[in-house]
Structure 1
Amino acid sequence: MKSYRGYLIDLDGTLFRGTEVIPEALSFMDQLSKANIPYLYLTNNSSRPPEKVAEKLRDFGFPAAPDQVYTSAQATAQYLQDEMNSPSVFVIGEEGLVRAVAGAGCEITEDRPQAVVVGIDRQFTYEKMKKASLAIRAGAAFIGTNADRALPTEEGLLPGSGSLSAGIAAATGIEPLFIGKPQPIILRYALQKLRTTPEETLIVGDNLETDIRAGVNGGIDTLLVFTGITTPEMAEQSSIRATYEVNRLSEWNI
């Protein structure tokens, strides 16, 4: 196993499960912190701003500052700013996404937006879907924070933001541009923030379809941990291959 100068680390299923911390993850993060190895908590969840994500992590006992968190909302906002010159946007999403888009200099509007951005929105309505569909049919760019159709919670798998985007895609006949894992866009921005190259970075996660596929797509080594959504049997049967696999993070040497 080679040594890595930077880590991109998934949250749910990797560091905690719902409201339950994964004990081995605490010692893993403590080792990273003590070794002064830079890392980012990389999440597809767009609902919370970085400071609230960091606060939740600290409540679990993890070392976390807001600038060590990078969300799909932040990556989406950065894309809007860098690639679309901060367009006017109709946002379907929660606080984390709204704040990130506004912070990128975009006007948030329902009146003839240049882009429609869709993240997780637990107050999603037919009216929002109608406005998004009309705007996209009128020429607005269609962007999704991530393609995750299911969101793991204590209740079970609930509809994710990808389900909302899928509904709008069905209504318009237009597929969204997704930003979050496993797309390379979020990885490009995360590496810029981490200041490491793909060759010297490791992605750590529990999900073959998002975390591990992201590494495969981006040419970054991956560590699959079997504490979340992916089981060893699923990994064995999948065509997606992680660089490394461990049952728990305590088996990994920093």
Structure 2
Amino acid sequence: MAYKGYLVDMDGTIYLGSKPIPAGKRFVDTLQEKGLPFLFVTNNTTKSPETVQKRLADEFNIQVGTDLIYTASLATIDYMKDDDKGDKVYVIGEAGLIDLILEAGFEWDENNPDYVVVGLDSQVTYEKFTIATLAVQKGATFIGTNSDKNLPNERGLVPGAGALISLLETATQTEPIYVGKPEAVIMEKALDRIGLTKDEVLMVGDNYETDIRSGINNGIDTLLVLSGFTPKEAVPSLPVAPTYVLDSLDEWDIDK
């Protein structure tokens, strides 16, 4: 079927770490040429939409507006605003998460926050985990931005936000509320942004556990591209098959 719009992962789909995936750029170029709506939906919380926009332009020659970039940071903010349990927060994460949360009106509180949010933090310390652990033990709502245990980059599969969140989950004996892919929160908000329904869009990504599960779990067709996280040899044993599996996005016929 011909889809009216696309939800598209970035890392492992459009680029791999700092390396471009040429078929990914060609795919985006085709969407733009045909005027088809699309939205980048990413679990990466380390960068703001403005930083992602600049990186896409400078490193990969992909020109998009910030309104086409929906990160797990934005989904986390949307979740906390809907949840409305308070405005005090402690965050383990980088600027792309912390700055956006504070700009959205939340206040930093290390002693009695309403929320503890954990995302990827390449400078994480034992002290940060200690503050977060004590806050959750006092009753703060524990939010994990996304469950990615690993991230694909040019060095291999490095630790992701899910690995850090698992440490805090062990320390607190408390399960986090996950917001990013494959959870419903980020997908429902992404559909709101693109202005289409579940049956009108295709979720495109390289990671079965996040990208493809986000479609399967939420009633959205999926395209698994074997350019990043999930290897080809894993496909036959996947518990629920993606709607489509391709070696390269060059193989996808947008008009079909």
TM over 0.5: yes
Residues in 2 aligned to 1:242 and 1:14: alpha-carbon distance in whole angstroms:
15
Q: CA deviation digits over 1:201-252, x for unaligned, max 9?
A: 1100011111111100110000111111222221111113111111111111
Measure the CA separation in 1 of the matches of 2:137 and 2:86.
20
* One-letter code aligned to 1:35: K
Q: Which residue of 2 aligns with 1:186?
A: 186
Aligned pair count reads: 253
Aligned residue for 2:222, secondary structure, equals: strand
Matches for 1:6-155 after TM superposition, within 5 Å: 6-59=5-58, 60-84=60-84, 87-155=87-155
- Whole-Å separation in 2 of the counterparts to 1:225 and 1:185: 23
TM-aligned CA deviation for residue 50 of structure 1: 0.3
Equivalent residue letter for 2:10: L
CA contact (8 A) 2:46 2:93 kept: yes
Compute the RMSD of aligned alpha carbons.
1.1
Deviation, 1:87, is 2.2
Q: How far off its partner does 1:40 sit?
A: 0.8
* CA contact 2:86–2:114 (8 Å) conserved in 1: no
Conserved 8 A contact 1:78-1:104:
no
For structure 1, which segment, 101-110 or 198-207, has the greater mean C-alpha deviation from structure 2 after superposition? 101-110
- Structure 2 stretches lacking a partner, 5+ long: none
Map residues 237-248 of structure 1 onto 2, 5 A cutoff.
Answer: 237-248=237-248
Unaligned runs of 5+ in 1: none
Provide the TM-score with structure 1 as the length reference.
Answer: 0.96
Taking only the aligned residue pairs, the percentage that are identical comes to 45
What secondary structure sits across from 1:218 in the alignment?
Answer: coil
Cα distance, 1:18 vs structure 2:
1.5
Instruction: Assess if the C-alpha contact under 8 Å between 1:149 and 1:159 holds in 2.
Output: yes
SS at match of 1:132: helix
Kindly indicate whether the alpha-carbon contact (under 8 Å) linking 2:19 and 2:154 is maintained by their aligned counterparts in 1.
no
